[in-house]
Structures are given as structure tokens and as C-alpha cells.
Amino acid sequence: MALQSADLRYVCGLFVTLLLVTAPPALSKGASVTQLCLCDAGGTCLHGGTSVPSLISGKHMFCLCADSFEGKNCEKGVDCYEGLGLYYEGTVSQSESGRTCQEWDPQTRERFLSSDINSGKHNYCRNLHFRRRPWCYVVTKQGQVREYCAVPCCDSESAAELKCGLRSRRKQMKIVGGNVATVESHPWIAAIFWHSKSEEKVFRCGGSLISSCWVLTAAHCFPDGSHTKNHRYSVFLGKNFLNESDPIAEQKFRVEEIIIHEGFDQSKGDFNNDIALLRLKGKGGKCAEETNWVRTICLPGCSTPACNHMRFKTSGLWYMSRSLREARVNIIADDVCRQVYYENMISDNMLCAGSPDWSQDSCKGDSGGPLACQVDNRFFLFGVISWGDGCAKEGHPGVYTRVSNYDAWISEKTQTVSAASATFRMEVF
């Protein structure tokens, strides 16, 4: 129920005229007249709620709650989060292991939580430092550690309603070091070419079609950074072979815009934030057309089921074979990748993957291509091929940009919201 200026309502059996000088905040979902009248006189509205007084007695009548809260005194948080949970301000204070969260220290509150609706002392879960979802510090036998919280993801479009991540697949032929793959098996794969002044076409990187006009790829594919000239690049969709053309399957586009993540700095040599977006140059606002050879891949979000124990596929491998190929790899836990393989070179924006026998891997020239996870016949883009030490080299897994960390960035730059912005997550801290 919404209350408006000079609106006449029957409230608890009394006929009153509410003359509100300013429009109040929206009522929480499901609020009723009966619920509004249960507030005791002189009641307190919590979490930024607004007290509405009686025009007769001047005493408190009911609370108008802020968006994320409900209840008689706005005491109940609507405890779910959207995206990465960067703006989550609910009241969950327990980690997934059941441990009670520790209070945030004064320095953290002052630096990161000054605008929090609960700005005083509290131990509520929050997502500081742009991690994957709300978390808190808990005490274990190992001391104080970070753990993700038992906060669900807010409802979003169900997987059944999505149109992305579906493919038309033909039989594949097994070869050493991966599978020869038809483009129907990976219809979101994009081939990015650089054109010289003499119009010589050189393959530069792979990419993934995430919407009709946008391709997601790696930032390091563009060594000139912000000085990259868009007109020097083109994108082919539906391509099976680098040195052959198929006018029936392929769609070619010039690049209208290249957006490199602001936090990427290749001069540091760490490949953090190795992610970029290409906007295709279409006609009349339309770019790629959906066919058996060209389709979009879904972007991952925050809710279950998790993909951590599933086999992933990385595709591209054009550099060595000139034909589209795929490799099957397993995700390696972050702590294992850091401690065993790459020490402290792995940031929270990266993930590692490799095959158990080290026989399959992404390689040089595959940069920007997808690391995909299949769930119920639908593919989700979890990684962008970024870097590694050699190709299929024992003890040296491939390193990928963690796409789920960039959901908000992708939405901001493309002005679109991922259809799967809250559908699946990969669970590794």
C-alpha cells in the first residue's frame, strides 16, 4: 500500500486525512493497514525507517520502512543480496559454517561502512574489498579468518527463462591435446582480428558473445590500451577455421568501441583485471543474429547451484591448429593455486584450471576465449583466458579472469543487466 499526499484512507477504523509535506519512502512489500497499526505509541523505527505521527495526538502511529527492511519497527532485514552484494545492508551475522561474525573494528567502520544504514557497532555481513559476496570475520582454531555468509541471493530470472547458453552440437572427433570442435558446440566463440594499414588480417584473440552487440575478451589483447584504434579490429562469429571462410555460418563485424577495464595495467605484469568489452558495429541497433552457429553465452551470478565440482570447457586453441578446438579442465582451489603453483601471483580476480594429467590446457593465442561451465544443458561464462606458464605444462595450470567479479562492471558498460545475473555461482573463496 502506498501513501500519497492528501490521500484519504481508513486507518484502523479512523477516517483521517494524511497531509504529508514530502513523499515518504516506499512501504516494504507485503505491508498492510493492519500491520501499520500495530506500532505502539512512541515506537521507534529502525534501520532508516520513518515514523508517521498521528495528526490528532502527535504520537507515533506506524513506520514507513526503507527498501531493505520490514516489520512493525522495521526490525526485519530483507536478507538477500544482488550482484556481488556490494550494497547489502541486511542483518545476517552468521557465516555459512554457522560461526558468529566478529564485530567490525572502528577503522573498518570509519573507512568502509560510514554510509552503512547500520553505521554503529555491528557484526553484520558485508562485502568489503569487492569479494564475491557478503562475508565476515570469524574465529576458528587457526585464528581469525574470512568466511562467506549465509545470505541468499535475491530472486531473479530462472534458468528456464534464459535464452543464452544453448547450443546446436554435432559429433566431435577426438585428438591429442583436446577435441576438434565444431562452432555449433561453442556458438558464442568470437575470433578477433587486427588489420594492418595494408589491410592484412592477423588473428589477435578469442572472445565470447554475451549479447547481440557485445563481446567479452581479455584486456591484454590490446597492447595500446586506451590508445587502441577501433577501426583496426574486426570480429568474426561462427568461425571454424582461421584460414577458411564459411559465408553461411560466419558473421563479420567491425568494432565500434573497445572498453578496457580501468584497473588493468599490463606494465605491472600481474594481469589483474584482465578483461575488456568490444561493442560490435551493427545496423539499426542490431548486430549478431541468432543461428545454429552464432548464439550468446550466459553470464554467471550469485545463487546456487555451484559449479566448483563440475568439468569446465575452454575453447579456442586456434593458435596451434588453426581450427576451433576445446579442452576439458578442472577448477583448482584458490589457496592451492597460490601456495602450490603461482605463489602470490593469483589475485581474487583470477582463477586457475587444468586437466588432472596436464594434457589439456589453453595456450598462447587463445587469450580472451571462454572458460565455460555446463549446467542443465546451458553454458555459463566463468572465466576469460588470461595467462599461464607454458601450454599443458605439468604443475602450471592456466589462469583465467573471474567473470563473476565483473558483473556490475559489465552491466554498467553495456547498459544491460545479465539475464543470469543471479543464477549460478562457482564456490571457491
Looking up cell 498521528 gives: 54
Backbone angles phi, psi at 230, to 5 degrees: -55, -40
Cβ within 8 Å of residue 309, ≥6 positions away: none
Please name every residue paired with 149 in a beta bridge, in sequence order, or none if there are none. Answer: 95
Q: Which residue has the cell 605463489?
A: 343
Tell me the pairing of strands 214-217 and 233-237.
unpaired
Catalytic site residue 367? yes
Which residue's entry shows cell 595494408? Answer: 198
Q: From the candidates 220, 315, 362, 404, which is the catalytic residue?
A: 220
Selected catalytic residue, list 186, 261, 274, 361: 274
Whether residue 400 contacts residue 355, with contact meaning beta carbons closer than 8 Å, is answered with no
The active-site residue, picked from 95, 367, 404, 421, is: 367
Closest to 148 measured CA to CA, from 113, 97, 102: 97
What distance in Å separates the CA atoms of residue 113 and residue 425, rounded to the nearest whole number? 26
Buried b (16+ CB within 10 A) or exposed e, 388-418: beebbeeebbbbbbbbbbbbbbbeebbeebb
d(CA 282, CA 275): 22
Active site residue 347: no
Q: How far apart are CA 253 and CA 271, in angstroms?
A: 27
- C-alpha cell, 8: 484519504
Please name which of 359, 383, 240 lies closest in space to residue 299, comparing C-alpha atoms: 383
Q: How far apart are CA 89 and CA 295, in angstroms?
A: 37
Q: Which of 222, 342, 211 is nearest to 279 (CA)?
A: 211
Catalytic residue list contains 323: no
Q: What is the DSSP string of 364-413?
A: TT-TT-EEEEEETTEEEEEEEEEE-SSSSBTTB-EEEEEGGGGHHHHHHH
- The set of catalytic residues is 220, 274, 367
